[in-house]
Amino acid sequence: KNSAKNRIALITGATSGIGKATAILFAIEGIHLVLCGRRQDRLDALQKELAKQTKVTSLTFDVRDKDAVFEAIDSLPSEFTNIDILINNAGNAHGLDPIEEGNTDDWDAMLDINVKGLLYVSKAVIPGMIERKSGHIINIGSTAGKEVYPKGNVYCASKHAVDALTTGMRMDLNPYKIKVGAVNPGAVETEFSNVRFKGDSEKADAVYNGFQPLVAEDIAEALYFVVTRPPHVNIADLTITPTAQASATVWNKD
């Protein structure tokens, strides 16, 4: 294993779920952190906690706000500017409706956050990686980026776009020795379903009834594995599901 200690990782969506679990694990392993999200109180609390273990700073911005993305990343103190690892994790599903009943604000949110937000953050970070001829970008895709499921329409489209962008980025950044890959989770119990169902916790909890979902730490461990491969090894694509989930639509539930 190739230690990632003292490397600098920028994690979007670090205030919750997969991003937060990854920040906590990376801090234990001595990776320096740039924590990103919109919820300032959570960023402050996490920064304070993890500062006991590693060097950490945070940036508060909405990935949909193009100017805010560039301003925030440009404002990083010099000790954090050489980002070695970018985890494009910020994202969510908004709604679960047949296409004819879809809410256009939900569609905008998913495409603007999951696709365009990922692009803006990448655009802000890539030039430094190109200059240094090193770097590692990991996009959080989904099983929804590999298969479509009923009522998944626009969320699945956004994650299929992430899948395509991961491949495209890997090709285009290949001359610069930048590793690019995706980690694609199946069902992970986080705030994801709460966001999807707009705070309806009964509906959100029901998603995880009758089987054992992944927890955010399962994905964090995989991300740590991905970033600690030796320089000649790139994990291009890793799909991880609960054992009870055989595909986007095939489940073994009690």
Min CB(162)–ligand 8X3 separation in Å: 10
Q: Look at residue 85 and give its three-state secondary structure.
A: strand
Nearer to ligand 8X3, 143 or 166 (CB): 143
Binds ligand 8X3 by CB under 6 A, chosen from 72, 187, 222, 227: 187
Residue 145 CB neighbours (<10 A)? 27
Min CB(126)–ligand NDP separation in Å: 18
122 binds ligand NDP (CB under 6 A): no
| 155 flagged as catalytic | yes
Bridge partners, residue 37, by sequence: 60
Tell me the C-alpha distance between 61 and 34, whole Å.
12
Which residues does 90 contact at the CB level (< 8 Å), separation at least 6?
12, 13, 19, 36, 37, 63, 113, 117, 118, 121
Token digits for 30? 């001595």
Nearer to ligand NDP, 170 or 196 (CB): 196
181 binds ligand NDP (CB under 6 A): no
135 binds ligand NDP (CB under 6 A): no
User: How do beta strands 135-140 and 32-37 pair?
Assistant: unpaired
19 binds ligand NDP (CB under 6 A): yes
Min CB(66)–ligand 8X3 separation in Å: 24
Backbone Cα Rg of the chain: 17
Q: Look at residue 137 and give its three-state secondary structure.
A: strand
Which residues does 191 contact at the CB level (< 8 Å), separation at least 6?
16, 17
Angle among Cα 171, 174, 176 to the nearest 5 degrees reads 145
The one catalytic residue among 120, 155, 176, 208: 155
58 binds ligand NDP (CB under 6 A): no
Q: Which residue has the tokens 């379903």?
A: 193
**Which of ligand 8X3, ligand NDP, none lies near 62, with the C-beta cut-off 5 to 8 A by kind?**
ligand NDP
Nearer to ligand NDP, 100 or 202 (CB): 202
Q: Which residue is nearest to ligand NDP (CB)?
A: 17
Q: Is residue 252 a contact partner of residue 26, using CB atoms and an 8 Å limit?
A: no
Q: Which residue has the tokens 């970070």?
A: 125
Tell me the angle at which helices 66-74 and 118-132 cross, rounded to the nearest 10 degrees: 30
| # residues contacting ligand 8X3 (CB under 6 A) | 7
35 binds ligand NDP (CB under 6 A): no
Which residues are known catalytic residues?
155
Binding site for ligand NDP (CB under 6 A): 12-19, 37-39, 62-64, 89-92, 113, 117, 140, 142, 185, 187-188, 190-192, 195, 216
Query: What does the binding site for ligand 8X3 look like in residue numbers (CB under 6 A)?
Result: 93, 142-144, 152, 187, 248
